[in-house]
Chains A and B, each alone.
Chain A
Amino acid sequence: MAKKKRTSWIVWLRRLTQTGFFLLFCYLFLQTVYHPINKAGWGITFFFNLDPLLALCSWLASHALVGAMLLSLLTLGVTFICGRWFCGWVCPLGALHNFFTSLRGGRAKQKLEAGGYHSWQKAKYYGLVTFVVAAVLGANVVGWVDPISFFFRSLSISIYPAINKALVVVFTWIYDANPGIGPVRLTLVTEPLYGFLRKYFLAVEQPYYWGSLLIGTLFITVVALNFWRARFWCRYACPLGALLGVVGKNPLVRLKKNEEKCNSCRLCLVDCQGGATPDSLWKPSECFYCWNCKSDCPAQAITFTPSASQRCHSERSEESRSDSLVHTSERGSSLRCE
């Protein structure tokens, strides 16, 4: 395998942006509390407003739409241009799945198996159709699986109460047991820390919710599946990803491969997050624009540029397809870009 080169600055920017949006989501989550007097916190529904799937299905089912949710048109607009950039750069659940996927060790070969494109990735499109049809008929149940809704609900019902409980138990144990030597007690450190957490992070009172076990287990299962297949939820299940994949199936900004530079080393496949097969026929509806492939390519053969005209490509690919399928997979893509 060719030596891995230094990570591109765009990848660092993307990671920073993902982290930023993830932290923003968590911050808005924590802000969803009572503020004196009788205020809920500003802008806490930001991510829900950005979500075009929720806007679409709510409108279809109830024939009404909250004005703030028109912000989702922004998401759709950018998706036309940049494909599933939302999945790669903005979605907080996506960022979480990205993180857990990256925790997986394994050599490149194992990563390829787990990270390559699987035809089961089409399942999310069928799921999307099911939920959209249900919404047309008045059942807005997409909220069960929409990623923003799924993440917020899981945090609110299970994950945050669990973290809260764990912290309170630990700090209470230290307070009661009061370990230390002589006048030097652990509580000298832990009590100010506990006060800080109580003020800015911990819940006012330990929350307990019905259904927390089921919701928590589902969440943990979905996250754990990242260890089996890279970004499992995003590739196989996410209906928002499917919607964005449909809207963004012919984006303006496209992956361009320089055929002369490419030596079919397939390093671009190893860290591909969406399973978009950049080594052969690039699938825009699976691409998260994470820029890993561009960053990893030792020959610098990959670029992402705005490119409108693909007609000539499709004509050519029609020819080569009819020639032989084997030909296409042998040497990488036979497509040429202008």
Chain B
Amino acid sequence: MPKIDRRDFIRTGVLAGTELGCGIFSSYALVATPTTFLSNAHDPQPIPQPPAMSIAHYRSSPAEPEGIAEEAKRLTRQALEALGGMNRFVSKGNIVWVKPDIGWDRRPEQAATTNPDVVATLVEMSYQAGAKKVLVSDNPCNPARLSFPRSGIQQAAEKAGAEVIFLDERKFRKMSVNGKVLKEWEIYQDVVEADRLINVPIAKNHNLCRATLGMKNLMGVIGGPRNRLHQDLGGTLADLAAFLKPRLVVLDAIRVLTANGPVGGNLADVKRKDTLVAGVDQVAVDALGATLLGYQPASIGYIAEGNARGLGTLNFNSLSPKQIEV
């Protein structure tokens, strides 16, 4: 992968820095505003702010595949409506990059990859909000040609009209991440150049960092020797999260992997939580996901690090997430 030239370097650095600044500012603002709103109950004309996070829970837990598919679609739609609709995140003419977890050559019921119907619904909603093009892809650990169809995501996304692509080796470019641990890393060019990035992870146990959620899912848009990041997952993932700043994070917790993650394989390790979390604060969404798996958010390295750096808050309750029963 060739190094980008100086002009690109500066442009990307400025872009990244601005993104980082805006990100920190906006998440700070989001943290501040709802609290202010609630505490000022006597304010004569409170300005309603859309919620930063929504948690959708399904009342039943259907067993059949059609039932789960229906559950996934309804949860996704309701969770996003609760946030103000997809129009809040996707504008007309946008190029949207939807980043599910397609990392492993596993079937959907093994809960190693994102629920395909969640992905398909997000694709549909993006188009309905006016997106020009929706791209779905991942840089998986098992070969993409195997994991994409076996996870069901390729078929579901294509049916919804997305362009499912297999990553082009040439498009990984070294970019200035300028993080605390990572100075520069190879990132897929088209992800950075897309107008919107929607991160769609699945909540899974991970034997190194306890849980893999949204910030860990971002490893699927980078190239290079990723297997070295494990030497400091807390720092490196926080760097990447700060650089990439997804516009929206939708955490699939319909089926979660409670043990032997992130690959899994034993159906006994899969538990139904029938929950979907959507939010703009990637640290808060991950923190909630951690509790769903039974872990303390602060005990997870990258969540604590993200919180410490102000990327978001691990105290998700402070965001007053909107809870809905579907």
Partner of A34, one of B146, B168, B170: B146
> Total contacts A to B, CB within 8 angstroms?
25
What string of 1s and 0s marks CB contacts (under 8 Å) between B1-24 and chain A?
010000000000000000000000
Task: Say yes or no: is A1 at the interface (Cβ < 8 Å to chain B).
Answer: no
Contact B143 A204 (CB under 8 A): yes
Interface size on B, residues (CB 8 A): 13
Contact A176 B2 (CB under 8 A): yes
Kindly list chain A residues whose C-beta atoms are within 8 Å of the C-beta of B265.
none
Contact A37 B149 (CB under 8 A): yes
Q: Looking at chain B's contact residues, is the secondary structure mostly helix, strand, loop, or mixed?
A: helix
Across the interface, name the chain A residue whose C-beta is closest to B149: A36
Whole-angstrom CA separation of A283 from B148 in the bound complex: 57
What string of 1s and 0s marks CB contacts (under 8 Å) between A171-204 and chain B?
1100110000000000000000000001000001
Whole-angstrom CA separation of A38 from B2 in the bound complex: 35
Whole-angstrom CA separation of A305 from B259 in the bound complex: 75
What string of 1s and 0s marks CB contacts (under 8 Å) between A30-60 and chain B?
0000101110000000000000000000000
Contact A176 B143 (CB under 8 A): no
Kindly list chain B residues whose C-beta atoms are within 8 Å of the C-beta of A171.
170
Contact B166 A204 (CB under 8 A): yes
Contact B150 A176 (CB under 8 A): no
Contact B170 A175 (CB under 8 A): yes
Kindly list chain B residues whose C-beta atoms are within 8 Å of the C-beta of A37.
149-150
**Which of A36, A171, A172 has its CB near the most chain B CB atoms (within 10 A)?**
A36
Kindly list chain A residues whose C-beta atoms are within 8 Å of the C-beta of B150.
36-38
Contact A34 B145 (CB under 8 A): yes
Across the interface, name the chain A residue whose C-beta is closest to B150: A37
Partner of B145, one of A36, A172, A175, A176: A36
Whole-angstrom CA separation of A55 from B212 in the bound complex: 52
Whole-angstrom CA separation of A176 from B5 in the bound complex: 11
Kindly list chain A residues whose C-beta atoms are within 8 Å of the C-beta of B168.
198
Whole-angstrom CA separation of A38 from B145 in the bound complex: 10
Kindly list chain B residues whose C-beta atoms are within 8 Å of the C-beta of A198.
166, 168
Nearest-neighbour CB distance to chain A for B136, whole angstroms, equals: 15
Across the interface, name the chain A residue whose C-beta is closest to B2: A176
What string of 1s and 0s marks CB contacts (under 8 Å) between B137-154 and chain A?
000000111101110001
Contact B170 A172 (CB under 8 A): yes
Which residues of A54-104 are within 8 A (CB) of B? none
Which residues of A1-53 are within 8 A (CB) of B? 34, 36-38
Kindly list chain A residues whose C-beta atoms are within 8 Å of the C-beta of B170.
171-172, 175-176
Across the interface, name the chain B residue whose C-beta is closest to A195: B168
Across the interface, name the chain A residue whose C-beta is closest to B171: A175
Whole-angstrom CA separation of A311 from B150 in the bound complex: 67
Whole-angstrom CA separation of A175 from B170 in the bound complex: 8
Whole-angstrom CA separation of A289 from B154 in the bound complex: 51
Kindly list chain B residues whose C-beta atoms are within 8 Å of the C-beta of A34.
143, 145-146
- Seen from chain B, the residues whose Cβ lies within 8 Å of a Cβ on chain A are 2, 143-146, 148-150, 154, 166, 168-170
- Seen from chain A, the residues whose Cβ lies within 8 Å of a Cβ on chain B are 34, 36-38, 171-172, 175-176, 198, 204-205
Q: Could you list 9 examples of A-B contacts with CB < 8 Å?
A: A34-B145, A36-B149, A36-B150, A36-B154, A37-B150, A38-B146, A198-B166, A198-B168, A204-B166
